[in-house]
Amino acid sequence: MSKTFEYDVIIVGAGPAGMTAGMYAGRSMLKTVIIERGGSGGELLNTEAIEDYPGFEHIEGWDLAQRFENHAKKFGAEFHQGVVLTVRRLEDATFEVETESGDVYHAPTVIITAGGTPIKLGVPGEAEYAGKGVSYCAICDGAFFKGHVIAVVGGGDAAAEESDFLTRYADKVYLIHRRDELRASKILQKRLFENPKIEVIWDTLVERVEADEHGFVNNLKLRNVKTGAESNLAATAMFVFIGFRPNTGIIEGHVDHDEMGYLLTDTNMETSIDGLFAAGDVRSQLTRQVTTAAGDGTTAAIAAEKYLASLRDSSVGRIVATGGYAV
């Protein structure tokens, strides 16, 4: 049966941004819920090792995710599992958040920390063989390919890092990139080039994914974009890391965004809709790191607290869950 909940702050997504926002909102004594469709951690769960979060020279992604969750819970943030379908601003300027199961959450402020969804190549066979050799998560699926020859597509940080990670299992990893230089940071490139199990196939696109009679990937049809030469790569897996699309489709009505669809915010992480904040990968910004997500989440929660205080102080006033802001 569907339920209705009242909160001060609703946070959509339990990645680093959402859990940091939850921790700060909790510390501000706001009644806070974090709604997440999967496990807590967001992109941390797709990252093997984190080496650039201050204070942790090396920590596994899942481990840091668990610590974020425990920390947010310690300060009172509640975690609910659910797939958010819509975030709707009501006429009284409060928000209604509806989940797939029909639950309705109501609050004067919402912080969107929903991250993004992996971009697909869009080539024949990709969707058909997803889960049967086509993957977007190395940490989830890498172990299935112990001793195999596999391919990674992309040229950014994710492709470089995950290629390196996948050599733990695979005998050989071919990194297929559409240009003749990588976009990945220099330190990840160095690690990649020094790994004897990785070979880069430059200037090349995957044109088709093929499978054996059981439907498991066994070949990739490739095309060199400079020479037009076609070739086959007998790989049993294709891991695609060609970027992310922000999960903003849940917001009903217009909200300002950049040309890629990332949400535009001011320095308080507030979007073009009053009371609606955005933090982390879903937000338009220079870089998408755990550190920046945590910073965004901090700012968003503190700004949301100030926003609630301004409602309390205004002559209009609105009722919120703790009752502290009622007129």
Catalytic-labelled residue, pool 63, 103, 137, 203: 137
**Contact flag: residue 287 with ligand NAP (CB under 6 A):** yes
Which two tokens mark 129? Answer: 């063989």
3-state SS, residue 199: strand
Which ranges of 43-123 would DSSP assign to H, the alpha helix? 61-74
Phi-psi region of 76 (alpha: psi -120 to 50; beta: other; left: phi over 0): left
Catalytic-labelled residue, pool 8, 141, 157, 296: 141
Which two tokens mark 296? Answer: 């965004």
Is 140 an active-site residue? yes
Q: How does DSSP assign 220-287, residue by residue?
A: EEEEETTT--EEEE--S-EEE---EEE--TTB-S---B-TTSPBP--TT-B-SSTTEEE-GGGB--S-
| Window 110-169: residues binding ligand NAP (CB under 6 A) | 121, 153-159, 161
Which of 244, 262, 307, 325 binds ligand NAP (CB under 6 A)? It is: 244
**Contact flag: residue 223 with ligand NAP (CB under 6 A):** no
Rounded to the nearest whole angstrom, what is the least distance from the CB of residue 80 to ligand NAP in the complex? Answer: 27
3-state SS, residue 200: strand
Rounded to the nearest whole angstrom, what is the least distance from the CB of residue 172 to ligand NAP in the complex? Answer: 20
3-state SS, residue 126: coil
**Contact flag: residue 262 with ligand NAP (CB under 6 A):** no
Burial 24-50 (b: 16+ CB within 10 A, else e): bbbbbebbbbbbbeeebbbbbbbbbbb
State the binding string over 78-117 for ligand NAP (x if CB under 6 A, else -): ----------------------------------------
**Contact flag: residue 241 with ligand NAP (CB under 6 A):** yes
Residues 128, 133, 138, CA angle at the centre, nearest 5°?
A: 125
Rounded to the nearest whole angstrom, what is the least distance from the CB of residue 73 to ligand NAP in the complex? Answer: 26
**Contact flag: residue 16 with ligand NAP (CB under 6 A):** no
d(CA 235, CA 216) in angstroms, rounded, equals 10
Is 137 an active-site residue? yes
Is 164 an active-site residue? no
State the binding string over 177-216 for ligand NAP (x if CB under 6 A, else -): -xx---x---------------------------------
Catalytic-labelled residue, pool 52, 92, 140, 313: 140
C-alpha distances in angstroms, 202 versus 154, 174, 179, 326? Answer: 10, 10, 6, 62
Closest CB to ligand NAP among residues 155, 280? 155
Rounded to the nearest whole angstrom, what is the least distance from the CB of residue 159 to ligand NAP in the complex? Answer: 6
3-state SS, residue 324: coil
CB closest to ligand NAP, residue no? 156
Which two tokens mark 169? Answer: 């299992």
Closest CB to ligand NAP among residues 111, 159? 159
Rounded to the nearest whole angstrom, what is the least distance from the CB of residue 188 to ligand NAP in the complex? Answer: 7
**Contact flag: residue 288 with ligand NAP (CB under 6 A):** yes
Rounded to the nearest whole angstrom, what is the least distance from the CB of residue 90 to ligand NAP in the complex? Answer: 34
Closest CB to ligand NAP among residues 81, 232? 232
Closest CB to ligand NAP among residues 7, 165? 165
> 62 CB contacts (<8 Å, ≥6 apart)?
41, 44, 45, 139
**Contact flag: residue 283 with ligand NAP (CB under 6 A):** no
Which two tokens mark 232? Answer: 């086959």
- Residues engaged in binding ligand NAP (CB under 6 A): 121, 153-159, 161, 178-179, 183, 241-244, 287-288
Catalytic residues: 137, 140-141
